[in-house]
Structure 1
Amino acid sequence: MHTTTGGRTRTGGTALLVLLIGQAMANIDLAIVNLAAPAVSADLDVDSSQLTLMVTAYALCSAVLLAPAARLGEHHGVRRVYLWGLSLFTIASLACGLAPDIASLIAGRCLQGAATALMISQVLVGIHRWFTGTARARALGWHAVTLSGGAALGQVLGGVIVSANLFDTGWRAVFLLKVPVGALVLLLGLALLPRERPAPTRTGRGGNDIPGTVLLAATTLSVLIPLSLERPDWIWVLLLASVPLAVQFLRTERRVIARGGKPALDLRPLSTPAVRWSLTAYAGTTLTYIAMLYLLSLHLQKHLDLPAWQAGLVPLGWVLAFGLAGPVLGRSPRAVARLLPFAGCAMLTVAYGLAPVVPAGPGTAVWPLTAALCLGGFGLGLAHTSLLNLLTTAVPPRHASTLSGTVNTLSTVVGVIGITLFGSGYSWLNDSDRAGPATAWTLTCAGLALVTGLCAFAALRAAATAPSPSDPSDPSAPSDPRGAVDAAGAAEPPDPAGATSTPGAVFPTKDRPGLSTPDAD
């Protein structure tokens, strides 16, 4: 896709701001609704399974649509798809706020999840396509700040809004307040986001990979549904079905590529060593991060007997430190920047090792645990920002939608796996006669440290195999003169979008005015 701005001069900062507000809205929504769940249960008189479905429906619908939504941005432009998602999110929020019963609320949450996929899938695509060099590193830093700030703000606002009972709306204000905010951001997006000219659609047999899209959605759901829902017991059969579904998905994508079509998820740019190691480290650290937030809620309230408001403040330092680490990458020399993924994973490992050792308990100050969590949050921010920068350097912008869909879907899947694996392990050990709460906390933290220790090794390998930023060639281009080869052995055909593999960035290190071109929007 050749990206251009409209006739007016637009700065990179304002466009990035609009994208990141959408990302923040999605993060705030997830945290705030979790805190509002008890009020929803009391008002609508729903059982625990319905309440769980209300919370998980959002994540399930979002996860299934992340990869296809990223591809929509490739074909229709980041601006258009992002604004579609923002409009749908605003409408869905209104529907949730006015829902008369739990069925309507669950339907509204599904719609919100779909809208979120449209929005957040475009954030990384836009950063990947619109920024280069130091400007991209700084944009990713602000992306990290947004992720942490949204989570922190959601933690704080959730209880405040529900308790305030604004205009006697109770929990409904959690959704209704997003309507005016969404409308305002929509106006900003119409005015500030750069217009784009969609890429030429690849013609020929198999241009639209509908079977691959369906198989990708089915594989994702077969993993997430059993891990998200407690009943019925037979639902675990779906997890077994994910293996043959994944195999069939890979076979289908190979056939689509062989006949010159456009695969639902093009895995070829993800086959280089630097990308594989980076994704491994990113997935592992994300898994431990989400698992730790869940474990903290159990450990602080059930074992340390902290009140809910205080238990909610302890991990606040974690998410804020995550955001503080974001800008470090853009201010680091190149030699130092290449070591940041390892340094971040190492700090995270140390934090997990310290968590069960530092003094904390009833009648004891919890600031040592909070300090250890701040160290982990800062390390996580370093790791995630630098790994994303490495990924966007190793994967050319023409594959931005593949990278965005992969990273976002992977984050959702491993997050659910982390909660299920470590949450179940903690609960089992906590209830065991041979273990107990203290041992459960120690062993689960040790497990988290083991995972991030392996991630540190993966981060080292990622940095060692990463392409040099000064190399003008396509980072994903192989040395084999016969052409690129994907993991399945299929040759990658030339990119029909143009002779160059990396279109010029709209917003390089210094903001520049765009070119006035016809726009398809």
Structure 2
Amino acid sequence: MLLSAWFMAQFDFFVVNVAAPSIERDLHTGSAALELIVGGYAFTYAAGMITGGRLGDRYGYRRLFLWGVAAFTITSVLCGIAVDPAQLVAARLLQGLAGAAMVPQVLATISAVYPPHQRGRALGWYGATGGLGSIAGQVLGGMLLSADLFGLGWRAIFLVNLPVGLVVLPLAGWLLPKVQTPGRSRLDVPGATGFAVTLALLLVPLGLGNSLGWPAWTWVCMAASVPVFLVTWRWQRVLGARGGQPVLDLALLKVHSYLAGVGSLVAFMAYFASFMFTLTLLLQSGLGLTASQAGLAFAPMGILYSITSLLGTRLTRRHGLAVVFAGGAVAALGLGLLVVAAGQGLPYIVVALALVGSGNGLVLPQLIGAALVEVAPHQAGVGAGVLSTAQQFAGAGGVAVIGAVYFAAAEGGHHVAAMRSSAAVDLVLVLVMVASVAYAGRRARRRAPAAEPSRTAVRP
């Protein structure tokens, strides 16, 4: 039940990329409104994650999860019945907030219920589900659009969440355990507001800047995010020193495996989200494929990701970080193939996708597990919220920045050259991810007892 909600949230993050042309034609949206439909969800989703995690710590993970699923189902229906761009933008913003209430409770429940030595398999499934949701957004989204169920067109990608939510809600209420949470102090409203404003000042310009030609206000907003963040950070320290409970538990920053895991996930999500976005542009705008054809091109990637992600946890328990390094190498090989052979035709692109999917499956679940393995149960909610915020912010930022690289290189219809440029940037991010994992491994070896050399690797 937990993982189905995580799947829905990731699915809705990516599926709009495939449906964007249909939405634009049907609702007559301008480029700015379309950017908000696609990116507005990412913004409110990311901005609300830390607060959603802290609310779970306060009111209970099970309760927040149920509220979040109900809200996500309702807002999905509102997206599906929107009749103009303004309604769809508003519904997408609310859908992102609902996801922010729902998703942190998934990781928090796993971290609180399972002891560290048993979390690996559950976190492996979590990572596999998130990746599959992302890829399914491309594959199933294209199939839904092509099928045009009941004449719904693009609306089906949102309304499909209604039957899922109606099944998940009663089962979750029956099956999910009630986890004892701290639930003592008041919510840190100034801190939550400060982090939300910081993310707004970054994500809104990043999401709209390229389509608007990067006007002056986008740079002013991004510059203003720095002092807002510093003031918020100072408030977190002051509140913590007074004995309060800041929205960001600063004790998490002393857990080096957590910091290394967050850094690795930021690099991974910036690469992965931008890769999915730019490749969709290449397939549809560059090669002229339909939405369903483009979705099917992602199918081998999804299948191989499923296989390697489920094998990855078992392999990591046996071989440690070597599995993550191998996954990074395979993903890098796929990106390198795209850089060299993107113009050679669809078969080469599908092979490159298959390599990327295989490598990602070995990497992503292990990164999540490594980040959370040393997080204490009472920090599970906010730890999951910060981790999810970092993932979504990195994804949105990666799409904006690397998407801008793609659009700049694609002027005049040079989509193959644009894909080569963006894939080269993605390749650099994969190398940064591997470096962060190596750093975590070195710290683990320093902490590990000399008599147990076989257990020195960071394991999820």
For residue 277 of structure 2, what is the amino acid of its counterpart?
A: Y
Contact residue 145 and residue 324 of structure 1 kept, 8 A: no
The two structures have a TM-score, normalised by structure 1, of 0.79
Q: 2:396, 2:112 → 1: CA distance? A: 29
Alignment of 1:103-252 (within 5 A): 103-133=86-116, 135-202=118-185, 207-229=186-208, 230-231=211-212, 233=215, 234-252=217-235
Alignment of 1:25-424 (within 5 A): 25-133=8-116, 135-202=118-185, 207-229=186-208, 230-231=211-212, 233=215, 234-332=217-315, 334=317, 336-358=319-341, 360-361=343-344, 364=345, 366-424=346-404
Q: 1:221, 1:20 → 2: CA distance? A: 28
Higher helix share: 2
Q: 1:180, 1:307 → 2: CA distance? A: 27
The two structures have a TM-score, normalised by structure 2, of 0.89
Residue 436 of structure 2: aligned partner: 458
Following TM superposition, by how much is the alpha carbon of 1:372 offset from its aligned partner in structure 2, in angstroms? 2.5
User: Would the alpha carbon gap of residues 348 and 35 (structure 1) be closer, same or farther in structure 2, given more than 3 Å must change?
Assistant: closer
Q: Please give the root-mean-square deviation of Cα atoms over the aligned residues, in Å.
A: 2.6
Q: 2:132, 2:371 → 1: CA distance? A: 23
Following TM superposition, by how much is the alpha carbon of 1:178 offset from its aligned partner in structure 2, in angstroms? 2.1
Alignment of 1:426-441 (within 5 A): 426-431=406-411, 437-441=415-419
Following TM superposition, by how much is the alpha carbon of 1:82 offset from its aligned partner in structure 2, in angstroms? 0.4
* Sequence identity percentage: 34
User: Would the alpha carbon gap of residues 449 and 43 (structure 1) be closer, same or farther in structure 2, given more than 3 Å must change?
Assistant: closer
Following TM superposition, by how much is the alpha carbon of 1:308 offset from its aligned partner in structure 2, in angstroms? 4.3
For residue 58 of structure 2, what is the amino acid of its counterpart?
A: H
Contact residue 50 and residue 389 of structure 2 kept, 8 A: yes
1:46 partner SS: coil
Q: 1:197, 1:338 → 2: CA distance? A: 33
Following TM superposition, by how much is the alpha carbon of 1:213 offset from its aligned partner in structure 2, in angstroms? 1.1
Contact residue 53 and residue 381 of structure 2 kept, 8 A: yes
Could you report, residue by residue, the CA deviation over 1:323-352 in whole angstroms, capped at 9, with x for unpaired residues? Answer: 322222432364512333333223222222
User: Would the alpha carbon gap of residues 51 and 431 (structure 1) be closer, same or farther in structure 2, given more than 3 Å must change?
Assistant: closer
Q: 1:178, 1:437 → 2: CA distance? A: 34
Q: 1:343, 1:246 → 2: CA distance? A: 37
User: Would the alpha carbon gap of residues 373 and 68 (structure 1) be closer, same or farther in structure 2, given more than 3 Å must change?
Assistant: same
For residue 226 of structure 1, what is the amino acid of its counterpart?
A: P
Could you report, residue by residue, the CA deviation over 1:408-431 in whole angstroms, capped at 9, with x for unpaired residues? Answer: 111111112212222222222333
Structure 1 regions of 5+ residues with no counterpart? 1-17, 472-521
User: Would the alpha carbon gap of residues 58 and 445 (structure 1) be closer, same or farther in structure 2, given more than 3 Å must change?
Assistant: closer
Residue 481 of structure 1: aligned partner: none
Contact residue 73 and residue 165 of structure 2 kept, 8 A: yes
For residue 427 of structure 1, what is the amino acid of its counterpart?
A: F
Residue 448 of structure 1: aligned partner: 426
User: Would the alpha carbon gap of residues 177 and 352 (structure 1) be closer, same or farther in structure 2, given more than 3 Å must change?
Assistant: closer
